[in-house]
Amino acid sequence: MTTRYSWRLAPDGLATRRQLRALGLRPGGQDVVAQVERPRRRRGPLVAYLYRIDLAQPVRPMTERQAAALAKANAARRWCPTCRRDAGYVIPASLGMCVPCADAPHHAAA
């Protein structure tokens, strides 16, 4: 069973995955050491799992093929399916098309 801490009361030397990533680290196969619980009013608490920083390992460098695949995936997120052009930014999932196409009058009625 892991140790539980209240929000902002975890001891030094523990970090979440995001905090480890910001330090250039990864959990490296270690088990969750503790968890932090942040209370919410109408739902159950938010839970964040904590790992020991001293046991964390450096993030593995990305290979050239991984970088190419990531670049290809990000490029695909920039293409508007309506006008079939590169929008120059990642298309918002909420719109499903570039902003000019979403603002066009023929799509406003849809």
Q: What is the pLDDT of residue 6?
A: 92
Rounded Cα gap, residues 28 and 75, in angstroms: 30
Average pLDDT over residues 37-66: 95
Of all residues in the chain, the percent with pLDDT exceeding 90 is 86
Q: What is the pLDDT of residue 52?
A: 97
What pLDDT digit, counting tens, does each position of 70-107 carry? Answer: 999 999 999 999 999 999 999 999 999 999 999 887 65
**pTM of the complete model:** 0.67
